[in-house]
């Protein structure tokens, strides 16, 4: 699913209007009907008081049309329009004339004294600003947003919470804190940023029939990875195949007291479908790994931590980092790996921490390698960012500079590609905020890369599988009880769901 900018969204509307063809007022009517249907399903008590706050642009026109539909369904509706010297948009004015023929009460807000008395039980519909907002709300609008936030608990925003920019940081803006955001057609970039969690609430995508041709042909810098996207990547197994067809992976993982990370990443790699796996470990973890993951082979380098590991030539991919610790010998270990193994690597956890303290190694990372930092690791590697938008820009910049793929872990994990494309993952849940979940992801991506998925596809598919397995686990045992091993145990179910 492509994620479009505000100008592209406007262009999508215009293209649909010109090429379907359909009048803009009819397109607004579609949007209003979809919103009204969702509201009826989720707020079925038509005795509830509905207060709709409208600006005078097309978002406000949506609000007026929604008011008309809810009135027809016997909801008690009041509309509050922000007064201004300028007339409303043409479609706003058309819907205002239509609404005047109904029993809906219409009020014009000229100052703060004209703000209504609200009950916490009222349903508030925010139709003040849409995706075209390009300047900070001020004056009466700003006061109204703060008033709604202070006096309401059930807020439904239409297309975007008013006051929120969809393409850039909105720091300093007064923004509606929506319980639900009913947005049209596709995801918006701002909705995927942690900094906006308090404003967007639960996002609901409503299909209003915008042109498929425009969506297919219009390029976008970002994509939202959904089931359809993954089905294009996934390669089922051939009947006449053997383990050699599915790659030979190596994992450098674990140290004394941290062998759990090696076990988790190894078992996840095996469950991802890799043909063969050898783990480079320390002697202290030999018995542990041979017992916990008997399908994996082991080679021992060092006593309590991995030291002087060498000869990676036989492997299709090497993953390094889970539980290896930070030891004086590790910078040299990574330097040896980078110089001797010219295929893409998967680098995570302690290996990233070693990198961040030895930045001279950055330029020697093999081309098309994949790094998988969480936000703090990313900060140690590349510095602080003052917003989530800027962190995404920095990830894309460093991906291009170093010719690597960056998997920036989070709720909507972001994958940055050297060609400037960015991908947001759609699976996963808060139950996966648990120790070892990152080690599992490292194993999955390493296994997929060994199976000849491209580095980009291995990163995207691995993150999606990881999240989907976590979602299946959470559904069965709850988010609270979920542990990293549950993700591994549900990888098979995730594959089955994708292959249906």
198: its two tokens:
């308090």
319: its two tokens:
């993953």
Do β-strands 248-252 and 276-281 pair in parallel, antiparallel, or remain unpaired?
parallel
Do 249 and 385 lie in one domain? The reply is: yes
Find where tokens 């145990």 sit: 489
pLDDT at 44: 84
Of 172, 194, 220, the residue that ends a domain is 220
pLDDT at 450: 98
Do 238 and 344 lie in one domain? The reply is: yes
Do 126 and 248 lie in one domain? The reply is: no
- Average pLDDT value for residue range 413-423: 98
Q: Tens digit of pLDDT for each residue in 160-169?
A: 999 999 999 9
- Average pLDDT value for residue range 91-103: 97
Q: How many domains does the chain have?
A: 2
Do 110 and 13 lie in one domain? The reply is: yes
Do β-strands 2-3 and 222-225 pair in parallel, antiparallel, or remain unpaired?
antiparallel
Beta-carbon contacts of 150 under 8 Å, excluding residues fewer than 6 positions away, are none
**Distance separating the N- and C-terminal Cα atoms of the chain:** 20
DSSP 91: H
In order, the DSSP letters of 26-78 are: HHHHHHHHHHHHHHHHHS--TTSEEEEEE-SSHHHHHHHHHHHHHHHTT-EEE
- Average pLDDT value for residue range 434-451: 98
Q: 275 in helix, strand or coil?
A: coil
Q: What is the mean pLDDT of the chain?
A: 97
Res. 85 pLDDT band, cuts 50 70 90: confident
CA distance 252 to 305: 10
DSSP 255: B
- Average pLDDT value for residue range 120-141: 96
Do 469 and 442 lie in one domain? The reply is: yes
Give the full edge-to-edge strand order of the sheet including 345-347.
2-3, 222-225, 422-425, 414-416, 405-408, 370-371, 345-347, 317-320, 248-252, 276-281, 297-300
Res. 241 pLDDT band, cuts 50 70 90: very high
Residue 487 pLDDT > 90, yes or no?
yes
- The overall pTM is greater than 0.85: yes
Do 197 and 283 lie in one domain? The reply is: no
Do 400 and 421 lie in one domain? The reply is: yes
Beta-carbon contacts of 71 under 8 Å, excluding residues fewer than 6 positions away, are 77, 102, 103, 104
Do 291 and 397 lie in one domain? The reply is: yes
For the chain, give the percent of residues with pLDDT over 90: 97
Do 453 and 329 lie in one domain? The reply is: yes
DSSP 359: G
User: 332 lies in which domain range?
Assistant: 229-499
Q: Tens digit of pLDDT for each residue in 1-54?
A: 999 999 999 999 999 999 999 999 999 999 999 999 999 999 987 778 999 999
CA distance 6 to 264: 42
Residue 313 pLDDT > 90, yes or no?
yes
Do 212 and 148 lie in one domain? The reply is: yes
* Domain CATH for 34: 3.40.50.10260
For residues 109 and 500, which has the higher predicted lDDT (pLDDT)?
Answer: 109
CA distance 416 to 398: 9
Q: Tens digit of pLDDT for each residue in 200-222?
A: 999 999 999 999 999 999 999 99
pLDDT at 84: 84
Which residue in 415, 417, 409, 452 sits closest to 434, CA to CA? 409
230: its two tokens:
């993954």
Omega within 30 of 0 (cis) for the link into 21: yes
In angstroms, the Cα distances linking 167 to 4, 170, 205, 390 are 9, 9, 18, 11
Of 196, 220, 244, the residue that ends a domain is 220
Do 22 and 53 lie in one domain? The reply is: yes
Of 220, 247, 278, the residue that ends a domain is 220
pLDDT at 378: 98
CA distance 92 to 83: 13
Do 382 and 399 lie in one domain? The reply is: yes
* Domain CATH for 275: 3.40.1190.20
């Amino acid at each position: 699913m492509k994620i479009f900018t505000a100008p592209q969204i406007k262009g999508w509307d215009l293209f649909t209007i010109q090429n379907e063809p359909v009048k803009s007022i009819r397109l607004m009517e579609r949007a209003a009907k979809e919103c009204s249907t969702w509201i009826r399903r989720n707020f079925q008590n038509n005795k509830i008081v509905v207060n709709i706050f409208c600006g005078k642009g097309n978002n406000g026109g949506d609000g007026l049309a929604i008011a008309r539909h809810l009135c027809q369904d016997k909801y008690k509706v009041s509309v509050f329009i922000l007064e201004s010297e300028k007339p409303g948009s043409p479609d706003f004015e058309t819907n205002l004339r239509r609404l005047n023929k109904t029993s809906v009460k219409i009020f014009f807000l000229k100052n703060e004294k004209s703000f209504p008395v609200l009950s916490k039980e009222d349903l508030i519909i925010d139709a003040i600003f849409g995706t075209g907002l390009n300047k900070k709300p001020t004056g009466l609008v700003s006061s109204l947003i703060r008033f709604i936030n202070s006096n309401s608990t059930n807020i439904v925003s239409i297309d975007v919470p008013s006051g929120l920019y969809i393409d850039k940081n909105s720091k300093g803006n007064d923004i509606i804190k929506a319980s639900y955001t009913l947005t049209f057609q596709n995801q918006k970039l701002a909705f995927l940023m942690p900094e906006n969690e308090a404003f967007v609430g639960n996002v609901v995508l409503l299909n209003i029939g915008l042109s498929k041709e425009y969506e297919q042909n219009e390029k976008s810098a970002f994509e939202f990875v959904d089931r359809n996207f993954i089905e294009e990547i996934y390669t089922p197994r051939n009947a006449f195949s053997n383990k050699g067809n599915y790659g030979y992976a190596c994992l450098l993982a674990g140290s004394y007291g941290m062998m759990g990370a090696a076990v988790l990443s190894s078992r996840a790699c095996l469950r991802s479908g890799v043909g063969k796996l050898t783990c480079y470990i320390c002697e202290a973890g030999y018995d542990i790994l041979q017992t916990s993951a008997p399908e994996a082979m082991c080679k021992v380098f060092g006593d309590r931590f991995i030291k002087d590991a060498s000869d990676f030539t036989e492997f299709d991919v090497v993953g390094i980092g889970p539980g290896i610790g930070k030891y004086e010998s590790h910078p040299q270990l990574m330097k040896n790996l980078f110089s001797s193994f010219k295929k893409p690597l998967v680098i995570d956890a302690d290996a990233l921490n070693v990198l961040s303290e030895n930045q001279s190694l950055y330029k020697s990372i093999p081309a098309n390698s994949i790094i998988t930092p969480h936000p703090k690791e990313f900060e140690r590697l590349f510095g602080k960012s003052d917003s989530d938008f800027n962190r995404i820009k920095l990830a894309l910049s460093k991906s291009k500079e170093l010719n690597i793929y960056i998997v920036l872990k989070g709720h909507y994990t972001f994958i940055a590609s050297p060609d400037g494309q960015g991908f947001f993952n759609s699976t996963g849940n808060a139950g996966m905020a648990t120790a070892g979940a990152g080690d599992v992801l490292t194993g999955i991506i390493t296994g997929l890369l060994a199976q000849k998925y491209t580095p980009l596809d291995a990163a995207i598919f691995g993150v999606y599988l990881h999240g989907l397995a976590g979602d299946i686990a959470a559904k069965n045992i709850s988010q609270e009880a979920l542990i990293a091993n549950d993700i591994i145990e549900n990888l098979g179910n995730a594959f089955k769901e994708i292959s249906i």
